[in-house]
């Protein structure tokens, strides 16, 4: 990849990658480090071919792996404590900030799955390539992630039980 191609790719994908990383990690202070490292590793990967979509999926996969590595480090540093254990249910009110906080309680992989499927609009095959999982597992993983999000929202009275 030439310097110009890399610059074009950065302009084209950095904004959406930043949004993706932020929604998964929930911390603005970590976003720049993860995005920068993801681009650096993608550049060093020396991928062959001109398939832009392959490059983008690889970039998202690297970013997802960096997020998971960070989550594991934090979990290890905290000991056996879970990373996103809610202290107590918040008061009942529906707004975007409340839903975003509930979204942060999901595991990083669940957030990644939901973001790629419903915000980025990726197909199951694209999600599988981005996350480095089997294509057939994406459907099941998405169902579980949606169920977990629904249960968290219902527990806070944000989403009515059906």
Q: Helices 28-45 and 52-78: crossing angle, nearest 10°?
A: 130
- Distance, in Å, from the CA atom of 138 to the CA atom of 150, rounded to the nearest integer, reads 18
Average pLDDT over residues 28-45: 86
57 has a pLDDT exceeding 60: yes
> Who's near 144: CB < 8 A, 6+ residues apart?
110
pLDDT tens-digit readout, 4-27: 877 888 888 889 899 888 888 877
Q: What is the pLDDT of residues 93-136, one digit of tens each?
A: 445 566 677 777 888 888 888 888 887 788 888 888 878 888 88
Write the DSSP assignment of 77-120 as a string of letters: HHTTS-TT--SSPPPS---HHHHHHHHHTS-HHHHHHHHHHHTS
pLDDT band, residue 73 (cuts 50/70/90)? confident
Residue 89 above 50 pLDDT? no
Domains by residue range for the chain, with CATH: 3-155 (1.20.140.160)
Say how far apart CA 110 and CA 74 lie, in whole Å.
Answer: 17
């Amino acid at each position: 990849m030439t310097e110009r191609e890399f610059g074009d790719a950065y302009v084209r994908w950095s904004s959406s990658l930043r949004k993706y990383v932020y929604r998964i990690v929930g911390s603005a202070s970590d976003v720049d480090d993860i995005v920068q490292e993801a681009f650096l590793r993608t550049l060093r990967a020396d991928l062959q071919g001109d398939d832009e979509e392959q490059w983008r999926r690889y970039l998202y996969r690297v970013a997802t792996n960096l997020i998971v590595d960070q989550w594991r480090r934090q979990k290890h540093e905290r000991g056996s404590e879970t990373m996103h254990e809610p202290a107590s249910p918040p008061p009942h009110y529906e707004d975007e900030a409340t839903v975003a906080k509930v979204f942060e309680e999901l595991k990083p992989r669940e957030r990644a799955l939901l973001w790629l499927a419903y915000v980025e609009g990726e197909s199951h095959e694209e999600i599988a390539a981005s996350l480095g999982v089997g294509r057939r597992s994406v459907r099941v993983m998405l169902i579980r992630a949606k169920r977990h999000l629904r249960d968290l929202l219902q527990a806070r009275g944000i989403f009515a039980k059906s």
